[in-house]
Chains A and B, each alone.
Chain A
Amino acid sequence: MIDKAWIPEGVQRCSIGKFLLWLTFIGVFIAWGLYGAFVVLSQGIGTTGLDNYFGFGLWITFDLAVIALGAGAFFTGFLRYILRIDQLKNIINLTVLVGFLCYSGAMIVLVLDIGQPLRCWFGYWHPNVHSMLTEVIFCITCYCTVLVIEYVPLILENRMINKNRFCHHLAHNFHIYMPLFAGIGTFLSFFHQGSLGGMYGVLFGRPYAFREGFFIWPWTFFLFIASAIASGPSFTLLVNKLMEALSGKKLVDDFTKELMAKISGMLLCFYIFWKIMDTWAWANGMLPKEGLTFDQMFYGLAYGKWLLWTELGICGVVPAIMLIIPAVRKIHGLMYIAAFLNCSGIVINRFVQTVQTSAHPVLPFDAWQTYAPNWAEWSTSLMIVAYGFLVMSLSYRYLPVFPKEKELNS
């Protein structure tokens, strides 16, 4: 293999030909997405399925979902570097990678999603201290920078690059300061995961999303943080499983996997309890004060009650219980199913908080509207997924992502 020198020591990788074929397959999606992006940027966001009722659609749902799922990065970092749970060092690189891909992917989507991308820096230059979105802009850009900083040492540890002395020492120094960055990352993440929830919770004009709260933070602020850290580890597990399936190798040891599942489960229990409480309080307290009933908050199939029951039940309570039972965790099939349900629940939550909030007419003489994303939104979103696959594939092939890989596959 031409690139043998670049591959980490002691591990097997497939032939370069097979790899290039795989990259080409990914490339198709990236190309289609780039075309979509070109159309959107050159002609306007009118080329998507968004409209005046649905200013937020697939892209925002996608962004919120990947940011939530990418929370595995900061939280695992927090547990590893701040709480010093050393076991997690076996999976920390993967979580950083997933986090980096989720955040950089979200940033790329946001370039398409704002009407005047050239003005994106206005959030810094003309910030609105009252706006949750300003907070989000600050934090996700800063946190993306943190993730880059956390990802850079991994790149520097590539076998060939690491031979360069400067790079070697640079990587070493990064590792020394890693707890500092992990701490900054935790702080930033808590805030923007929360602010993303806060964005919807402060909308007192939108009864579906609005919540009372604590000080300036609506309950959704805290619920979003909790759901993010509950699903992040599960998502990391699923990504890992996918990589193991595609590569045919064992990458992370069982104990670490089950630990991630346990963390996920405990946090999910915490989250789902408060989420159910919040839903009950919203339905019985807040809505009637605004002259609305619980039933009036739902419509048709796309915005039906089934989504709520699914989010809370099959994708909430059920995986929470499954993941905290050690015996269930041991059966990896069930563990992954629970992880999948967990992540699905969070995706549903992000969808309903953005799209269903906008679909409810609020004005009594107005009607529910429905929204469906079009090809431009799908292609660009899939492009980001493909981008994730691309970077993940390159990282897996050339970087020492999994410390235990050599040991587990000897």
Chain B
Amino acid sequence: MGLDRRSFIAFLAGGTGGILCTPVIWKGLDDISIWSQNWPWIPKLKYGQREKKPVVCKFGSDAYGVRVETAAGRPFVAQGNPDHPLSKGGICPLGAASVQMLYSPSRVKAPMKKVGDGFENISWDEAGKLLAAKIKAAGSDVCAMTGDETGTTADILAGFLAGLGSEACFLMPSESAPAARAWELLGGQGMPGYDIEHADLVLSLGADIHESWGTVVRNGKAMAADNAVYTYVGPVQKAGTSISAKTWVACAPGTEPLVALGIAAYLINAGKGVGMPGYDALKEFVTLTNPPSRVAQATGVSEATMKQLAGALLRARRPLILTGSEFGQGADALGCAAGLVLNVLLGRVNAKGGVTDIPFTAAVVNKAPDRRTLLARDVVGYVQDVAQGKTKPAKVTLVVDANPAYALPQPEVTAKAFEKSDFVVSFSSFMDETAARADLILPASYFIEAMDDAYAPYGSGQANYSVSPAIIDPVFDTKSAAEVILSLAASTGIDLGVASFEEAAKARAEALGADWDTLAEGTAWVAEMSNGSGVSLWNDALRALSLAKVPAGAMILAPLARLHLGVDGTPTTPFGTITIRNTELKKNVLCVQMNAATAGKLGMKQDDAVQVKSPAGSCKAVVSLSEAIMPGVVAMPLCLGHTVGDAFSKNKGDNVYKLLDVQREGGTGMSVFGNPQVQITKA
């Protein structure tokens, strides 16, 4: 068959046209593009009526209002609450990730009993009976720990223990305990409060106001208002502290409060404090006993710098000095007192932009000790004593909303203490190191699933009270820890005076003179600024302040607290993992930050694998050079190194709490920890 030109073209054209005329191609392509948008394994969106419900976010020791946005009642994101005085619309990295944690893979979904090496699900009924039986058998040999510093749950817990005859109810370490003690020593009635919004110069002695000290989100908003100049005294440079050139004063780790003594000397020389109670004793202490030269030796801050700082404080109209730990806990009370003394010296107590006195709340739970008493109890000391056999271990240990097996300094010591207790109960929303060690895990409802409250988190300017309503029903078989303890108290025959958490919270509101209905809607109650009684410049206990010289050639650890990595009770969140920096964790190995000079002295360079050893323990790390660290100091981030959790929290670095050895503060006997000397060797 011949094929001429015409046929050839006809053949080609006809073939092409024919194919294009069938629906196969067009329908096929259309279908393909629809399939490629709708693969069944990609989750679909759900819609519904939108609402924004106010709740209180309490992951760290900060507690502030946020709004959870819901669609048809389903919560999907947490945002700032512009109306809340402690956040003014801001939110921290944990708050921003909070709603998603409702479904964290680590969520404890039902009560669990330890069976052999693992856990078995049991019913609430069985769990309740088991716990009641253990409590009955324990008598007064019960101890409890909670991380909930601001909530009524702590009162319920402490009241319950008191009812059992036990004084061993503790709060986890934070900035509050040393501050409470310090304020008390100086004659304060309640807790020191800080009117940071109205200060025009904020001097931070160690206190990391944007990550771990006080009302972090509120502090940020205060800085945002551009009313003050900020200076930070500490071993690690902070960003965003100000607009002026030199706002970082490098100071040996843990010694920042001592700088207050040096500054006090210059302020006294400039005529401040005359006639104030305790003036003579203070003057002698800071000009003769521990003059600025001694302070300079102990801290590494030069006398000239201290004089400069004093000058700035004198020129400022509303200076405010904040003293605390570099990482939110472990600091000494006397140091805090030294810092508070500066505020007194400058006449900044009960002044606008200064230090206030925030009263403790009235008791609403029978037998519950007041906050001052609770704060005075030393959980670290207790755990150390139990582990070392100096104190009788408790038969039953109740841990509520805390992770001491991870976050107390020297976790192996905590482990030992727990082992000595017959029955450990963990009230936790998430599976963590403490829950893993527990004999009974009682799943606590998550913060949006149960009512909670917060009174004046440390750092507040005046008394305030917020109620966080439950905005959804629990998604798993969980209960509010407070309700469980109340029913346990009832079954043990202890009358706490309240039948439910809500009743206790209402009583609290009434005692404060706050309107319950407004509170329950999510509006915070804020008191007028309180006029506390006079405080003194001095307490003899301050003589115990130690000004030891920094040992030559020593390498001192400065732990770093970073909210985006987590806090004591909450590891890195699933949504927070992307914020982890290569200078904090590199290829899942913890980083030890140091400057080039320090590294040179150690014979180390960037990315060297090392072992960091302290008197308490050792950690595996990798060198990360940073000139933001002063010489002779190494900085390591906390909240990594979890061994229990999920893919988001586990196997990321090492736990720096292992390195923190514990000392007792001279003069108060409180446990202090945080800045051990370390040895760094190549791995």
Name A's B-contacting residues (CB within 8 A): 116, 118-119, 121-122, 125, 165-166, 169-170, 172-173, 176
> Quick check: A169 and B36 within 8 Å, CB to CB?
no
Closest 4 CB pairs of A and B: A169-B3, A173-B8, A118-B36, A118-B32
Question: Which B-chain residue is minimally distant from A125 (CB atoms)?
Answer: B29
Q: Which residues of the partner chain B approach A170 to less than 8 Å between Cβ atoms?
A: 3, 8
Q: Which of B1, B5, B33 has the most CB of A within 10 A?
A: B33
Q: Which residues of the partner chain B approach A165 to less than 8 Å between Cβ atoms?
A: 1
Interface assignment of B2: CB less than 8 Å from any CB of chain A: yes
How far does the alpha carbon of A119 sit from the alpha carbon of B29 in the complex, in Å? 9
Q: Which residues of the partner chain A approach B5 to less than 8 Å between Cβ atoms?
A: 173, 176
Interface assignment of B47: CB less than 8 Å from any CB of chain A: no
> Quick check: A118 and B3 within 8 Å, CB to CB?
no
Q: Which residues of the partner chain A approach B1 to less than 8 Å between Cβ atoms?
A: 165-166, 169
CB distance from B24 to the nearest CB of A (A): 14
Q: Which residues of the partner chain A approach B3 to less than 8 Å between Cβ atoms?
A: 166, 169-170, 172-173
Contact with A along B24-53 (1 / 0, CB 8 A): 000001001101100000000000000000
Pick 6 A–B contacts, CB within 8 A, sort by A. A118-B32, A118-B36, A119-B32, A119-B33, A169-B3, A173-B5
Question: Which A-chain residue is minimally distant from B31 (CB atoms)?
Answer: A118
Interface residues of B in 250-295 (CB under 8 A from A): none
Q: Which residues of the partner chain A approach B35 to less than 8 Å between Cβ atoms?
A: 118
How far does the alpha carbon of A116 sit from the alpha carbon of B1 in the complex, in Å? 45
> Quick check: B2 and A169 within 8 Å, CB to CB?
yes
Q: Which residues of the partner chain A approach B36 to less than 8 Å between Cβ atoms?
A: 116, 118-119
Question: Which B-chain residue is minimally distant from A172 (CB atoms)?
Answer: B3
Question: Which B-chain residue is minimally distant from A121 (CB atoms)?
Answer: B29
Question: Which A-chain residue is minimally distant from B11 (CB atoms)?
Answer: A170
How far does the alpha carbon of A121 sit from the alpha carbon of B31 in the complex, in Å? 13
How far does the alpha carbon of A169 sit from the alpha carbon of B3 in the complex, in Å? 6
Q: Which residues of the partner chain A approach B32 to less than 8 Å between Cβ atoms?
A: 118-119
How far does the alpha carbon of A165 sit from the alpha carbon of B2 in the complex, in Å? 8
How far does the alpha carbon of A297 sit from the alpha carbon of B70 in the complex, in Å? 50
How far does the alpha carbon of A119 sit from the alpha carbon of B2 in the complex, in Å? 41
Name B's A-contacting residues (CB within 8 A): 1-3, 5, 8, 29, 32-33, 35-36
Question: Which B-chain residue is minimally distant from A120 (CB atoms)?
Answer: B32
> Quick check: B33 and A118 within 8 Å, CB to CB?
yes
Q: Which residues of the partner chain B approach A172 to less than 8 Å between Cβ atoms?
A: 3
How far does the alpha carbon of A165 sit from the alpha carbon of B5 in the complex, in Å? 16
Question: Which B-chain residue is minimally distant from A124 (CB atoms)?
Answer: B29
Q: Which residues of the partner chain B approach A125 to less than 8 Å between Cβ atoms?
A: 29
How far does the alpha carbon of A170 sit from the alpha carbon of B29 in the complex, in Å? 31
Question: Which B-chain residue is minimally distant from A168 (CB atoms)?
Answer: B3
Name 19 extra pairs, CB < 8 A, besides A122-B33, A172-B3, A173-B5.
A116-B36, A118-B32, A118-B33, A118-B35, A119-B33, A119-B36, A121-B29, A125-B29, A165-B1, A166-B1, A166-B3, A169-B1, A169-B2, A169-B3, A170-B3, A170-B8, A173-B3, A173-B8, A176-B5
How far does the alpha carbon of A116 sit from the alpha carbon of B35 in the complex, in Å? 11
Question: Which B-chain residue is minimally distant from A173 (CB atoms)?
Answer: B8
Q: Which residues of the partner chain A approach B29 to less than 8 Å between Cβ atoms?
A: 121, 125
How far does the alpha carbon of A125 sit from the alpha carbon of B1 in the complex, in Å? 39
How far does the alpha carbon of A169 sit from the alpha carbon of B2 in the complex, in Å? 7
CB distance from B308 to the nearest CB of A (A): 31
Q: Which residues of the partner chain B approach A176 to less than 8 Å between Cβ atoms?
A: 5
Question: Which B-chain residue is minimally distant from A117 (CB atoms)?
Answer: B36
How far does the alpha carbon of A166 sit from the alpha carbon of B2 in the complex, in Å? 7
Q: Which residues of the partner chain B approach A122 to less than 8 Å between Cβ atoms?
A: 33
CB distance from A176 to the nearest CB of B (A): 8
Question: Which A-chain residue is minimally distant from B35 (CB atoms)?
Answer: A118
How far does the alpha carbon of A121 sit from the alpha carbon of B5 in the complex, in Å? 32
Question: Which A-chain residue is minimally distant from B3 (CB atoms)?
Answer: A169
Question: Which B-chain residue is minimally distant from A171 (CB atoms)?
Answer: B3
Q: Which residues of the partner chain B approach A173 to less than 8 Å between Cβ atoms?
A: 3, 5, 8
How far does the alpha carbon of A79 sit from the alpha carbon of B355 in the complex, in Å? 90
How far does the alpha carbon of A119 sit from the alpha carbon of B36 in the complex, in Å? 8
Q: Which residues of the partner chain B approach A169 to less than 8 Å between Cβ atoms?
A: 1-3
Question: Which B-chain residue is minimally distant from A169 (CB atoms)?
Answer: B3
Question: Which B-chain residue is minimally distant from A167 (CB atoms)?
Answer: B3
How far does the alpha carbon of A172 sit from the alpha carbon of B3 in the complex, in Å? 9
How far does the alpha carbon of A172 sit from the alpha carbon of B1 in the complex, in Å? 13
Q: Which of B2, B3, B5, B32 has the most CB of A within 10 A?
A: B3
CB distance from B31 to the nearest CB of A (A): 10
Question: Which B-chain residue is minimally distant from A174 (CB atoms)?
Answer: B8
How far does the alpha carbon of A166 sit from the alpha carbon of B8 in the complex, in Å? 11
CB distance from B296 to the nearest CB of A (A): 36
CB distance from A120 to the nearest CB of B (A): 10
How far does the alpha carbon of A59 sit from the alpha carbon of B442 in the complex, in Å? 54
Q: Which residues of the partner chain B approach A166 to less than 8 Å between Cβ atoms?
A: 1, 3
CB distance from A228 to the nearest CB of B (A): 29
